[in-house]
Chain A
Amino acid sequence: MQVAIVTFPGSNCDYDCYKAITDVLGQEARFVWHREATLGDCDAVILPGGFSYGDYLRAGAIARFSPIMAAVKAFADDGGLVLGVCNGFQVLCEAGMLPGALIRNRSLKFQGERVRVRVDNPDTPFSRAYGKGQILHLHIAHGLGNYVADEATLDSLEAENRVVFRYVDEHGEATDVGNANGSMRNIAGIINERGNVLGMMPHPERSVEMLLGSRDGLGVFESLREAMGAGV
């Protein structure tokens, strides 16, 4: 599996993704600078976390016009797998590749903490390594991760089983107490209609070996590898 990791000015999780894919998973990855017009040969694309363009205007609002984004969109339109983590999720929403938007956390604070995330849809190329309802311990690190969309969009996301990850409490329930940042319907990650573009606020790449305190995020990358047919 060859993964292209897009680096924007202000990306800061690109190396974490690179290490997760190369060191931990033993697959290939390379960085693609945002000024590039093409992705080159790759099986999947990751838009990593960070603060592209300093989150000016709105998180992801300027990055979505980077030259590389036209190639990312074309790649997705061809059915290619695109994973957006944190700032990557924000960019995908701003680009209209995923519905909704991410606004300031309910707490008004930047939150860097470990949260509980439930896998609500394990039938995607990004979550197939997990079981339905499995609880993951993942890190969040964001000030603008509060997912919002209109009621009709939220209803269709749920009806089409496109909410892949949800924030939950210690009992695994999507309650208000378990809602890390105030996201509507506890949404932590969603997938597009076609099922090949996923955005999530928690950072799977920060939980890929026990040295980091949790391996629960590795499944996202294992799922990708499996989906690409590279075997497990």
Chain B
Amino acid sequence: MNEYRIEVRIAPRAGLLDPEGKAVHHALRSLEFDEVEDVRIGRLVRLRLLADDEASAREAADAMCRKLLANPVTEDYEIALEGAH
């Protein structure tokens, strides 16, 4: 078993209104960051987990996302593996 570090990045689904992102976008505009075209605010989950290999570490993280970490109705997620330690 190796220890894997995984980052799960969860963001509001594309097309779904993100009230928090919208408010921050307005705030950035009022600070004259006019170049900002869109802001989406999500959540970052850092996991340390034990698995036999990368594939099963990834698979486990995916199962966690589907069951608990992300809500498929409102959120998309991506899993980034930082490798074994």
Instruction: Give the interface of A toward B (CB within 8 A).
Output: 57-58, 61-62, 65, 93-94, 99-101, 103-108, 146, 148-150, 182
Contact = CB atoms under 8 A, between A and B. Distances in A.
Contacts of B23: 108
Contacts of B19: 103-108, 146, 182
Given A100-B73, A101-B73, A103-B74, A57 B20 contact: no
Interface of B: 12, 16-17, 19-20, 23, 43, 68-69, 71, 73-74
A65 B12 CA distance: 23
A57 B69 contact: yes
B74 A101 contact: yes
Contacts of B73: 93, 99-101, 148-150
A99 B20 CA distance: 23
Contacts of A146: 19
A93 B17 CA distance: 18
A61 B70 CA distance: 9
A103 B41 CA distance: 13
28 contacts: A57-B68, A57-B69, A58-B71, A61-B71, A65-B68, A93-B73, A94-B71, A99-B73, A100-B73, A101-B71, A101-B73, A101-B74, A103-B19, A103-B74, A104-B19, A105-B19, A106-B17, A106-B19, A107-B19, A108-B20, A146-B19, A148-B16, A148-B17, A148-B73, A148-B74, A149-B73, A182-B17, A182-B19
A104 B71 contact: no
A227 B34 CA distance: 58
Contacts of A62: 68
A146 B12 CA distance: 14
Interface centre among A103, A146, A149 (most CB of B within 10 A): A103
Contacts of A106: 17, 19
A-B CB proximity, top 4 nearest: A101-B73, A101-B74, A104-B19, A108-B19
Nearest to B45: A57
A53 to B, nearest CB: 12
B30 to A, nearest CB: 15
A93 B74 CA distance: 11
Interface centre among B20, B69, B73, B74 (most CB of A within 10 A): B73
Contacts of B69: 57
A148 B73 CA distance: 8
Nearest to A62: B68
A66 to B, nearest CB: 13
A133 to B, nearest CB: 28
Contacts of A150: 73
